[in-house]
Structure formats: structure tokens, C-alpha cells
Amino acid sequence: MFKAHDTGPVADAVKKHWVDTKLPSGLRPYARLARWERPIGWWLLLWPCWWSVGLATVASGAVVPNLWYLFLFFVGAVAMRGAGCTYNDLVDVDIDAQVERTRSRPIPSGQVTRFQAKFFLILQALAGLLVLLQFNTFAILLGVGSLGVVAAYPFMKRITNWPQLVLGLAFSWGALMGWAAVFGSLSLAPLLLYVGGILWTIGYDTIYAHQDKEDDAIVGIGSTAQLFAGRTKQALVILYGGAIALFAAAMFAAGAVGPAYIGALLAAAHMGWQIKTIDIDNPDQCLALFKSNTKVGWLIFLGLVADAALQALI
């Protein structure tokens, strides 16, 4: 009953990936549903969590981040990103069937049934819940609080050109979670990090959305790619610039002394390169620039880790 029917790779997925070449055929559609062959999604969900743990490490005076928390957030990001993709595909099946890039996804192509997808969604959500229960009560309640935003996201493109804003609210929630896991409360620093994460998410997902703007217009759904159109570079300057300013303010509020700001400066340089380079009419380049935001994540995280280590030595 739960064996899926593998009809071949998804058009917009990585070609000849381990999902399509190593997994048993009955499991491949589930892996495609969770986007396991595309780690950029869980990296982008993970970075605000790790940044928040790093920020809390600076503020607490610890030498290194809590490695157990980093591991838990990693597992949680993989599980919840997969659950989110599964949920989105269930909601968007009719739209995906009309878009060239997405019509070969597991549900519209018939690789999995809606029932199988719902069952898989529950399994992934339970894995995420198991991770969440390892934290303190405040962090658990805070994590549960994100579910409303996550549930609303797939419907936003039907009623607004700002679905990327709602995605930012959901994907940046980890900026609150890492701090809450360490301190059992919130303060100004993680709130600034959260708002900065929202702006960063709107920016990188606008770049991603330029791949589908023609199909989106035909189907009748909205995006910031359509809203900004030829003014995308100017919008990215505001979004990315605001994100970096808020990240730096969060670092200051947490008591950072130097390396964290260097990491933010290097991240800003990379964002500037994205803005200078982008050709909004080149889907392949837009996808590559979107994926390059993993570098932003590493630069900010390593800067925070270095800052905490330096303060422990001086």
C-alpha cells in the first residue's frame, strides 16, 4: 500500500543524484517528495538556527557552541524541510501539474498517491517533534508556534505577491529557536536576527522565483519576482542591505567584539556579488545564485563561532 511507483527523475531535480541511482525504486519518490537530493533547502532552514546558537554562545561567554544543539537543529531542519515540501506539494498539486518545471514531481506525476504523501508527511513531522522535545519548555512552545505560519505559506501566492515574506517568517524562525534553546527566553539580539533573516529570505527566494515568473503569471499566482520585475536589483540592495544591518545589530546586542562583524562583512560582499551578477532572465544562473546563499550562512556562522572563541581567550 505504501510502495511508490518510480516513473523517473523530477525535471528540476539534480541529475543522476544518489536518490535516483542508489535508493530502491520504491523509496525514490518519497525522497524526491522531501527534496533529499537538494540539500540547499535544509541548509537555508538550518542557518538561522545555527546563527542563533552562535549568537547565544557569544552572549553566554561559552567557548564553543553547544554541539548537541547544532546536531538537533540539523536533524530537525532536514525533517521539517522535507515535511514542508511534502505539505506544499499536497497543497500545490493542481498548480504543479500546469508548470513545466514541476509537473514531473511525485504527486502530479502519479509516483505517490495523496494518501501516501500524507502518511509520509506525518512521519517527517513526528521526527521533527521528537527533535523539538529535546529542548526546554519555552523552546518547545516557541517551536509549536511556528506551525501556523508554515501551514499558511503555500496559500499566500494565491492571494498576494508577497509569499516570500511569509516564507521568511517561517524559514527564519530558527533565529529565535537557537537562543531560546540556550537561555529559555528571548531578547533583543535574536529578534533582530529574526527580522534580518526574513529580509535575507525574501531576497534569495526572489532570485529563485525568477525561474518560474512566466509560468506563475499564466497560472495566476504571485511572487516578489513578478512584483519587483526589472527593479529586482534595487530591491535586493534594500533587502540584503537591511539584512546585514540587522545581523550586525544583533551581534552588537549579543556583545560581539570583532570576528562576527568580519563574517557579516564578507557575507555582505557575497550578497553584493549576487546583486551585481544576477540576470533575472537566466533561470540557470538564478538557481546557481540562490544556492550560493549557503556561503552566506557559513560566513556568518563561522564569524560568530570565532567571536565566541576569541572572547574566551581575552
Give mean pLDDT in consecutive 10-residue pieces for the chain, a chain of 314 residues: 64 72 84 90 97 98 97 97 93 78 81 92 96 98 95 91 96 98 98 98 96 80 93 98 98 97 98 97 95 98 98 86
pLDDT of residue 215: 73
Residue carrying the nine cell digits 529578534: 191
pLDDT of residue 110: 85
State the alpha helices, DSSP H only, in the chain: 18-21, 28-33, 40-60, 67-91, 93-96, 114-132, 137-145, 147-156, 163-171, 174-183, 188-209, 213-219, 224-228, 232-254, 259-277, 283-291, 293-313
pLDDT in tens, 192-203: 999 999 999 999
| This model's pTM is above 0.95 | no
Is 96 strand, coil or helix? helix
Pick from 278, 310, 273, 276: nearest CA to 295? 273
pLDDT of residue 121: 95
List the domain boundaries for the chain. Answer: 18-313
pLDDT of residue 253: 98
pLDDT of residue 102: 75
pLDDT of residue 11: 65
Domain 18-313 sits in CATH 3.40.50.300? no
